[in-house]
Amino acid sequence: MSQTDSTSTASAPHGASARRGPFRVGERVQLTDERGRMNTITLTPGTAYHTHKGFLNHDALIGAAEGSMVENNVGQHYQALRPLLSDFVLSMPRGAAVVYPKDAGQIITMGDIYPGARVVEAGVGSGALSISLLRAVGDGGYLHSFERREEFADIARGNVETIFEGPHPAWKITLGDFQDAVVEQEEPGSIDRVVLDMLAPWECIEAVATVLAPGGVWVNYVATVTQLSRTAEAIRADGRFTEPDAWESMVRGWHLEGLAVRPDHRMVAHTGFLMVTRRLADGVTGLNLKKKAKAEFSAEDLSAWTPEAVGERAVSDRKLRRAARDAASTIQTRRTQGKNTDTVEAIETSGH
């Protein structure tokens, strides 16, 4: 490695150097076969990736350039690339629905998450959004994530440490209910951006209004229109925020083959709704209060926002413990690989 290379690696943002250069022992590599099927392997010397069509020695990939084509023992070809963040979040261990890459991109841009920003988020779930937020705030920023279930926090920690190859310097995770813990741990008016992905964001209005700086942005990500409506009305009624903006995004892939250029037959039609509002200065009356009548909800309406009613699947403690073990063992395998390559078995996980 040249002097310039080693200097730039030393000063590179956290996790960046691991995403460059030839494939190294312990890295995850995404293999695409000739029919477009993807699988992710963790490079382990002396082991092989087996399919019903032969095997491929990991040693053929260790030291090879990213983007190489490799051949297995019976002549099957594989294209080898590092998984992108969008690949990783869809195949990593998880216990709850993750924020999809298309929505994470919207949250970062429309939430105006910038390098150096001080951000709080809840819940952490499997950590998919935390990874995007950490990339956006960078090493010099601050992300404080709150999660009420310990097993989810463990899954998220494993996933974050896998992608950044260790703890991220800007990340702090606290176990507890966001609305209680954030006001205990953050100074009033000290936070630039709040991002909530949870069942009942309307329960957090007081806490968000306390910690968010004037002009600060609050992004909500909810799965159903009933949650969207209740959150919007609660924000309006509170009066300390701007009129909320809401939208959804749909991404439709395209089939590209010769003259057969058309939309894909299948797509992810619904993930969630996004809503953005901003904190007004103290003592200001929002424009929305001057023109909008307060919406009322009946007792029947209010009883509708249970986890079951909005379609949130109950996740058993057993399933969560298994996902947490998978997430922890992925990072553990990578760490051990660096020290003792003989004792670790390959982890092979499905891509999509």
Ligand X SMILES: C[S@@+](CC[C@H](N)C(=O)[O-])C[C@H]1O[C@@H](n2cnc3c(N)ncnc32)[C@H](O)[C@@H]1O
Q: Decide: is 128 part of the binding site for ligand X (CB under 6 A).
A: yes
Beta bridge partners of 79: 32, 69
Q: Decide: is 148 part of the binding site for ligand X (CB under 6 A).
A: yes
Stretch that binds ligand X, among 40-48, 173-181, 225-233, 262-270 (CB under 6 A): 173-181
Closest residue to ligand X in the complex (CB):
123
Q: Decide: is 154 part of the binding site for ligand X (CB under 6 A).
A: no
Stretch that binds ligand X, among 11-19, 107-115, 191-199, 329-337 (CB under 6 A): 191-199
Stretch that binds ligand X, among 27-35, 140-148, 260-268, 297-305 (CB under 6 A): 140-148
Q: Decide: is 133 part of the binding site for ligand X (CB under 6 A).
A: no
Q: Decide: is 125 part of the binding site for ligand X (CB under 6 A).
A: yes
The C-alpha atoms of residue 276 and residue 286 are separated, in whole angstroms, by 15
Identified binder of ligand X from the candidate list 62, 107, 122, 275, rule CB under 6 A? 122
Identified binder of ligand X from the candidate list 192, 197, 211, 324, rule CB under 6 A? 197
User: Would you tell me the crossing angle of helices 101-110 and 128-137 to the nearest 10 degrees?
Assistant: 40
- Nearer to ligand X among residue 47 and residue 130 (C-beta): 130
* Encoded tokens for 269: 């039609």
Question: In angstroms, what is the minimal distance from the CB of 133 to ligand X?
Answer: 9
Identified binder of ligand X from the candidate list 61, 96, 194, 274, rule CB under 6 A? 96
Identified binder of ligand X from the candidate list 39, 47, 126, 224, rule CB under 6 A? 126
Q: Which among 219, 247, 208, 198 is positioned nearest to 113, based on CA atoms?
A: 219
Question: In angstroms, what is the minimal distance from the CB of 200 to ligand X?
Answer: 7
Give contact residues for ligand X (rule: CB under 6 A).
Answer: 96-99, 122-123, 125-129, 146-149, 152, 177-179, 197-199
